[in-house]
Amino acid sequence: MFNLKRKKQQTVDTIDYENIPQHIGIIMDGNGRWAKRRGLPRSAGHAAGAKTLDKITRCAEKLGVRYVTVYAFSTENWKRPKDEVDSLMKLMVDYLDDYKRVLGGDNIRIRIVGRRDELSEEIIRKIDIVENATKDNDKITLVIALNYGGREELVSAARKIAEAVKSGRIAPEDIDEKMISDNIYTSFMPDPDFIIRPSGELRLSNFLLWQSAYSEFWFSDICWPDFTEADLHRAVIDFQKRNRRFGGV
Ligand code: FPP
């Protein structure tokens, strides 16, 4: 009896490699609070968060996750003090410069999603270089949402589709869910199965609004810089206990 119980406990608490979420979205929250508790500037929290991102991406790769999308800078984050915005952009530039060293190996493809035209020419140039240099890496894709907002993304898709209607290429009746999915920034990948938000906040904050219609959510009080591989494992095990019905029975 004891053995049977132990066995059951083990199956419940270990990762089922046949049921790994294909796509995980992460809202990397709590960097500021992490820094404040240590008497450090907020920029130090973001830098620590970038290191956590590398660790968790490699961990996700080992689990067999195919896509990780992280919220690095939202369309609303421009409202932050200039020195914080500047430090986040500088971190992004350093990250793009160092992507090989920080992520290691040739397994990780990097893609950036979000509104490009408001980014500096330097960042846009570096994004093109990194996306091109990693385009044949097929183990996992790290998607960095930069100057990204779910509502902005839908407005931009609506404009593209409206142009197609205006020019007569399509009729209004042709517009369907697939057309919206095909015209948003994330059209190259499946919707996220699972969205993780650490730091105790319980909201989506304009992240992957369209794509998260049937995502499972996982919240925790841990600040993102403290997030460990064990936390990711715990989250995935919880995901595997969910009964996903997609509106069916
Ligand atoms: C939210 O935490 C976090 C951000 C707005 C930025 C996230 C960016 C990184 C982790 C940088 C790494 C990314 C790359 C690709 C270089 P917060 O600052 O709002 O935290 P708080 O709620 O505790 O203040």
User: Which of 27, 43, 46, 83 for a ligand 1 pocket mutation test, highest count of atoms within 8 Å of Cβ?
Assistant: 46
- Round to whole Å and give the CA distance between 117 and 129: 17
- The pLDDT-based confidence of 42 (bands split at 50, 70, 90) is very high
pLDDT at 99: 82
Q: Determine the atom of ligand 1 nearest the C-alpha atom of 47.
A: 11
216-239 per-position pLDDT tens digit: 999 999 999 999 999 999 999 999
**What pLDDT was estimated at residue 168?**
98
Return the domain boundaries, the chain: 23-149+190-240
Residue 137 confidence (pLDDT) above 80: yes
CA dihedral 34, 36, 38, 44 (to 10 degrees): 70
pLDDT digits (tens, 9 = 90+) for 187-214: 999 999 999 999 999 999 999 999 999 9
Look up 19 and say whether it is catalytic: no
CATH superfamily of domain region 23-149+190-240 = Decaprenyl diphosphate synthase-like (3.40.1180.10)
How far is the centre of ligand 1, averaged over its atoms, from the C-alpha of 77 (Å)? Answer: 10
pLDDT of 64-98, one tens digit each? 999 999 999 999 999 999 999 999 999 999 999 99
DSSP 206: T
Q: How far apart, in Å, are the Cα atoms of 151 and each of 45, 88, 104, 206, 227? A: 27, 22, 34, 7, 28
Cβ atoms of 217 and 242 within 8 Å: the answer is no
pLDDT tens column, 12-37:
589 999 999 999 999 999 999 999 99
| Residue 199 falls in which region: left (phi positive, over 0), alpha (psi -120 to 50) or beta | left
Name the H helices within the chain: 2-13, 31-37, 42-63, 82-97, 99-103, 121-133, 150-166, 177-182, 229-239
Tens-digit pLDDT profile for residues 149-180:
999 999 999 999 999 999 999 999 999 999 99
Question: What's residue 249's pLDDT?
Answer: 82
Contact 3, 193 (CB under 8 A): no
Read off the tokens for 92: 């992004």
Among protein residues, the one whose CA lies closest to atom 6 of ligand 1: 72
**Nearest alpha carbon, ligand 1 atom 18:** 32
Using 50, 70 and 90 to split pLDDT, how confident is the model at 7?
A: very low
Given a contact cutoff of 8 angstroms between Cβ atoms, the answer to whether 113 and 145 are in contact is yes
Which of 77, 107, 137, 206 does the annotation list as catalytic? 77
Instruction: Give the DSSP H or E segment for 108.
Output: strand 108-113
Closest C-alpha residue for ligand 1 atom 22:
30
The binding-site residues of ligand 1, defined as CB within 6 angstroms of any ligand atom, are 28-33, 42, 46, 49-50, 53, 72, 77, 88, 91-92, 95, 144, 199
**Residue 34 CB partners (closer than 8 Å, separation 6+):** 45, 48, 49, 223, 224, 225, 226
Write down the pLDDT at residue 3.
Answer: 44
How far away, in angstroms, is 248 Cα from ligand 1 center? 36
> Is 243 part of the annotated catalytic residue set?
no
Model confidence at 2, pLDDT cuts 50, 70, 90, reads: very low
Q: How far is the CA of 143 from the centre of ligand 1 (A)?
A: 15
pLDDT of the residue at 12: 52
Looking only at the bridges linking them, the beta strands covering 140-148 and 108-113 are parallel
Q: Pick 105 or 159 by higher pLDDT.
A: 159
Catalytic entry in 19, 29, 191, 221: 29
Nearest protein Cα to ligand 1, atom 8: 72
pLDDT category, 9, cuts 50, 70, 90?
A: very low
CA of 47 to the centre of ligand 1 (A): 9
